[in-house]
Amino acid sequence: MGVKKLKPVTNGQRHAVLYDFAEITKSEPEKSLTYFYKRAKGRSHGKITVRSRGGGHKKRYRIIDFKRDKSLVPAKVASIEYDPFRSARIALLHYADGEKRYIIWPE
C-alpha cells in the first residue's frame, strides 16, 4: 500500500499522509457480494433525534468472508478493491469450484 506525503502548504497539511490507490484494480464490485447499506441519518423512529446528521454518498456494503472455511479449495485473486467501510483493501477470490468471496487483503 503506497503512501503519499503532502507538502506543507498550510498548517493542517504539515504532517498529512494519504494513501496511494495504485494497487486497486479498475473493476466494478461483485454485485452478488454487496448490498445497499441504509443509514439512520439521525433518525431512530422516523423523527429526527440528532440534528446535523445525514447526507453523504450512497455506499454498498461488501460481504467479507471472515471464517475462511474453504482453505482446502484452491483460489485465485481476481482483483484488489476499495472498501468504503474499512481502511483495509479487500481481495476478490475466485475458487476452483466457481464460488466468489471477498477477504481482507493481507498484502
Checking phi first, is residue 88 left (phi over 0); if not, alpha (psi -120 to 50) or beta?
beta
Entry pTM: 0.80
Residue 1: per-residue pLDDT: 66
Any residues with CB less than 8 A from the CB of 15 and at least 6 apart, and which? none
Q: Which three cell numbers stand for residue 24?
A: 486497486
Q: Which residue has the higher pLDDT, 33 or 22?
A: 33
CATH, domain 24-104, list 3.30.70.2970, 2.102.10.10, 3.90.1490.10, 2.40.50.140: 2.40.50.140
Strands (E), 47-97: 60-62, 75-81, 90-95
Tens of pLDDT, residue by residue over 60-81, are: 999 999 999 999 999 999 999 9
